[in-house]
């Protein structure tokens, strides 16, 4: 009987030793500060103004929550919501919203993703990366075309590019 108990105990020890350990560590992530989000948004507005466009800009954090939002004088009332959706799309799928739009509008295998709540299949959203880590996104709306919105978004990110390395 003692032999059976010893074998059973040994078997249990082997099973528990082979089981994966539960990670109990603090997760450290880079985060987008309010000041940086504001500087990015302001940089995008400045670029669009220089090009003659009146836009709205929204910067979201890694979770898709609004960190900063600006609506320029003369921008349409719909542009603030559209800029937020572009930023949310970009951070959710970790790519420019124009790339995601092309994919969901042309690839039947992923077409259903276009109905993901809060997203929009339009260009103008760009992920904000610290190194290779996506820490947020910017969405711009109001310029005549997603490629022009995206250019303004990239200009905003470039304004703080040296701090994102």
Mean pLDDT (the chain, rounded): 91
Query: How many structural domains are present in the chain?
Result: 1
Instruction: Please indicate, yes or no, if residue 142 is contained in any of the structural domains.
Output: yes
Interval 61-93: pLDDT, tens: 999 999 999 999 999 999 999 999 999 999 999
What is the DSSP code string of 104-144? HHH-TTTGGGGGSTT--S-S-EEEEEETTEEEEEEEEE-SS
Tokens, residue 21 = 């350990």
Contact yes or no for 160/126 (Cβ under 8 A): no
What average pLDDT score do residues 140-150 get?
97
Q: Is the Cα dihedral 144, 150, 153, 155 positive or negative?
A: negative
Instruction: Please indicate, yes or no, if residue 122 is contained in any of the structural domains.
Output: yes
Q: Which domain holds residue 88?
A: 29-163
Instruction: Please indicate, yes or no, if residue 139 is contained in any of the structural domains.
Output: yes
Instruction: Please indicate, yes or no, if residue 13 is contained in any of the structural domains.
Output: no
Interval 23-50: pLDDT, tens: 789 988 999 999 999 999 999 999 999 9
Instruction: Please indicate, yes or no, if residue 11 is contained in any of the structural domains.
Output: no
Looking up residue 105, the CATH number of its domain turns out to be: 3.30.450.150
Query: Is the pLDDT at 102 greater than 90, yes or no?
Result: yes
CA atoms within 13 A on the CB side of 88: 17
Contact yes or no for 90/127 (Cβ under 8 A): yes
Cα separation, 123 vs 54, in Å, equals: 16
Strand 56-61 relative to strand 125-130: parallel, antiparallel, unpaired? unpaired
Instruction: Please indicate, yes or no, if residue 80 is contained in any of the structural domains.
Output: yes
pTM for the whole structure: 0.85
Instruction: Please indicate, yes or no, if residue 52 is contained in any of the structural domains.
Output: yes
Instruction: Please indicate, yes or no, if residue 15 is contained in any of the structural domains.
Output: no
């Amino acid at each position: 009987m003692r032999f059976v108990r010893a074998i059973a105990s040994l078997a249990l020890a082997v099973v528990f030793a082979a089981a994966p350990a539960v990670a109990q560590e603090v997760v450290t992530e880079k985060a987008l500060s309010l000041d940086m989000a504001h500087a990015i948004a302001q940089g995008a507005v400045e670029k669009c103004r220089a090009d003659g466009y009146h836009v709205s800009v929204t910067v979201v954090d890694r979770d898709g929550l609004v960190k900063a939002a600006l609506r320029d004088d003369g921008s349409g009332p719909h542009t603030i919501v559209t800029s937020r959706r572009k930023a949310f799309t970009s951070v959710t799928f970790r790519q420019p919203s124009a790339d995601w739009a092309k994919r969901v509008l042309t690839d039947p295998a992923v077409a259903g993703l276009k109905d993901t709540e809060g997203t929009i299949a339009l260009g103008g959203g760009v992920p904000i990366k610290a190194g290779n880590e996506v820490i947020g996104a910017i969405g711009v709306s109001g310029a005549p075309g997603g490629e022009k919105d995206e250019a303004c978004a990239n200009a905003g990110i470039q304004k703080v590019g040296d701090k994102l390395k």
